[in-house]
Chain A
Amino acid sequence: MGTPTAEKAAEEQIHGVPLVQGGLDFTGVTDTVCSVCERPGATKGWYISFAIASTGALTLFAMIIYLFWTGVGVWGVNQPVGWGFAIVNFVFWVGIGHAGTLISAILFLFRQRWRTGINRFAEAMTIFAVICAGVFPGIHVGRVWFAWWMFPLPYQQLVWPQFRSPLLWDVFAVSTYFTVSLLFWYMGMIPDLATIRDRATSTIRRLLYGLFALGWRGSNRQWHRYERAYLLLAALATPLVLSVHSVVSFDFAVAQVPGWHTTILPPYFVAGAIFSGFAMVLFLAVPARQIYGLKNLITLQHLENMNKIILATGMMVGYAYSTEFFVAWYSGNPYEQFTFMNRAFGPYWWAYWTMATCNVIIPQVFWIRAARRSIPVMLTVAFFVNVGMWFERFVIVVTSLSRDFIPSSWGFYWPTWVDILTLLGSFGLFFTLFLLFLRFLPMIAMAEVKNVMPQAHAGHHGGHRKEQV
C-alpha cells in the first residue's frame, strides 16, 4: 500500500474508477466537448471521410432512382426469394439502432452512471441507423407510389390496412421507435445546445444554436420537470426498445416458413440487436475519442464495459443458434430439420459459418482482460460482429425462402450489383449523417457527465467520493 500507484489501485478497487479522468473540472468538460464543434474548420481527416461517405450516400440515392425508374427486377429478388437484400439491410440497420436507446434508457434506469460518456453518441447512431433502416421497407414494395397504403389513411377505395399483419405492426413499431428516439436525443441535447449558444462568439452561431436550445437557461424549476420527463421517457423507451425488434421478428415468426415459425425469434432478435448495436457504438466511439481528444471522458473503462456487454450478448446469440438446432431436431418436424441442416451445409453454408465465426467465436477473446482493454483488438472484434450480424439476417431471410417445403419450388438467390451498391450506399448515408453530427453537435452529454462527477455532490471535499463504474 505504500506507493501512490498501489494506493490508487486499492482506491479504484474499493470505489471504482472515476468516470472522468485527467483531473477535468466542470470548465474542463465544457471546453473539451465544445471545442470540437467550435473550431473554425474541420480537420483534413474529416473532409476526406466526409467526401467518401457522401459519395456513398449519393450512390444510394442513384441506386434508388434507378430502382424506381426500372423496377424491382434490377434486384436479385424473384420466386421463391422475394425478400432479398432490402429486408436483410432493414433488419440489420434496425438492429444497429437498438444500442442507443438501450444505453440511454435501460442503463439509465439501472443507474449505470458510466453511460453518460457514450449515450449521446449511441443515441445519434440510433437515429441515423433507423433512418437507414426506414429507407428499405419503403423502396422494396415494388410500386413505391403505393407505399402510403401502409398507413391508416382514408382514401377513395374505402379500404383500411389489415391489422392482423405483422408487416403493419412493423410500420407502427418502427415509426414510434424513430419518433421516441428522436425526442429522447433532442431533449437530452437541449441543455448542451444552450451551453454552446452561451459560448458562441458569432451572431449566427448564437442564433442557430439558440433556436434549437429553445431558450433553455438551466433554471432549477425547469430542471425539476426536465429530469422527470427524462425519467419518464427512459421508462417508456425501455419496453419500446424490446418491443421493436420483437415486432420485427414477428415478420418472420408469424409466417409459416420453416426456420422462421418459432417462438425463440423475439428474444433472439433483441439480443442480436443489442450485440450489433454495441459493436457499432464501439466502432464509432474509438476513432472519435482518439481524433477529438476525448479520452478523459470516454475512458478505457467505458470501452471495457461495452466489450463485456458484447461478450454477454454474443453468448446469448450463440445460445439461440444452438437452441434453434436443438428444437429443430426435437420437434420431429422434417421441414424444420431440413432447414437447419441446409443452413449449415447447404448452398449457403459459407454465410452460415461466417455468421457463427464472427458472432460466436471471435467475441470470445473478450474473456481476457487485456483484449477487452486493447484498442486494436476491440476494433477488430467490433468489425467482425457487424459483418456477422449482417450475415445472420442474410441466413435467416435467404436460406429459409430459397428452400422451403416443396423441392420443385426451390431456387437460388444471388444479389445483383444494384443490391450490393445499395447496401454500401446505406453505409455512406449512415456515416455522412454521423460525420455531420460530430462536426456540429455536442457529441458528449455535458450536463449528464457533470452530474456524475464528484464535484456535483454537496459536501464534496478534495475528491474522497468517487462514482462507481
Chain B
Amino acid sequence: MTTGALPLARPALVRPRRMLLSGVAAGVAAHLGLRPGGVRVLFVVLALCGGAGVLLYVWLWAFVPLAGEARSAERAVDRPSDRDAGAIVERAVPVALVLVGVAGVAAAVAVLVGRTPANGHPLVPGIVESVLAGAGAVAWSLVGDRRDPRYNERYARVVRTTAGCVLIGEGVLLLPSQPSPPTAVSALLVLLLGVVVLLLPRAVAWWSGVLAERSAREREAQRAEIAAHLHDSVLQTLAIIQNRAGPQSEIARLARAQERELRDWLFAGTDPFAGDVATELRGIAAALELDHGVRFEVVTVGDVQAIANGPLVAAAREAMLNAARHAGGDVSVYVEATVESVDVFVRDRGPGFDPERVPESRIGIRESIVGRMERAGGRATVRSGPEGTEVHLSADRSAT
C-alpha cells in the first residue's frame, strides 16, 4: 500500500451547489479534508495580511467550477442543455439583502456626516459606498439570484424597492444641507439613481407590454387582410356554387360546409365560450348540413355565448334533425337569451304534420324534445301546418 493512491481518492475541487455565499470555503474544505469553519477562519486571517485572503477567495470563486458544471468550454458549447440542467444553486446568504443593508448603513453614515456642520470628515466616500452597494444589490437580485429558486420575483422586487428608497432618502436628506457644488451634485445624482432603480422595472414591464400589444395588433391586421382576401374570392365562389347547384344537391352541401368552416375561422373573433348554446347549435347545424339536403340559418340575440344548457341543446338538436330529415330546404334557427329565459325556435318549410297523430313508436318529439325540456324545468311547444313546422323550446335562465 502506498500513499500515492491518496490524491486520487481526494474529491475534486468543486464548489457545492448548496452554498453559504459562494461555496469556495466548503469546496476547499472537502477537497483538503478539513472542516469548512476552519477554512473560513483561515481566509479571514489571510485577509488581514494585506488582503491576500480576499484575493485568494475571489480567485477561487472565479476559477473553481460548480459541482456538475461542464468544465471545458467545448462540452458546454456541444451540449448547452447541460448548463441549463445544472443551473440551479442554493445560496444560504441573501446577498442582495445584505448589500441593501450595507447601502442603508453607508447612506445613514453619509447623511449623519453630511448634516453635522463643520466636521472635517470627507463626505463623498460614504455616498460612493452606498451607491455601489445599492447598485450591487439591484444587479445581484437581477443576475446573481436568477439561478436560485428560493429568491423569487417578489423578493427581487422588495430588494429593488428598498434600494431605490434608500438612495432617494439619502439624496433628499443630503441635498438641502450641502452648499458646496461637488457634494450637492453627487446628492442629486444619488436621488436620480434611486428614482431610476424604483421605476426601471416598471418601465421595462410597460415597454414589453407595448411590444407584445403591437405584435398582437400586427397579427390581427394580417389575419384581417387574409380574411378580406378570402372574402373577395373563396366565399363568393362558394356562394355562387350553392346558388347554381340548388340547396338540395350534393355539391351545394359540400360548398355550404366549406363556407361554414371558413366563416367560423374568419369571424370567430375571440375564442368562444366552450360548450355554449350558440356554438353548439352552429356545430350541430354544420354537421346536419353535411348529411342532409338542408340549409340552416342560425341567428342569435342576447348574451347567448355565456350560456351552457345541455338539455336545451339536446332538444334543439332533435328538432333540427327532424327538420333536416322531414322538411329539408331552408331551416331557421333563432336563439334569444333574455334576462329571464333562453328561447330556441326551429322553423322549417316542410309539409308539416299533426303532433297529436304522431305514432307512439316515434319517440322523437314526445320524448326527446317535449319530455326532455319538461324534465329540465323548461317548456317545448310544436306547431305544425301546411306552411311548415315550428318547434319552440324555452328554458328559464335560473335553470341554466
A and B: bona fide binding partners: no
Q: Which residues of B contact A (CB under 8 A)?
A: none
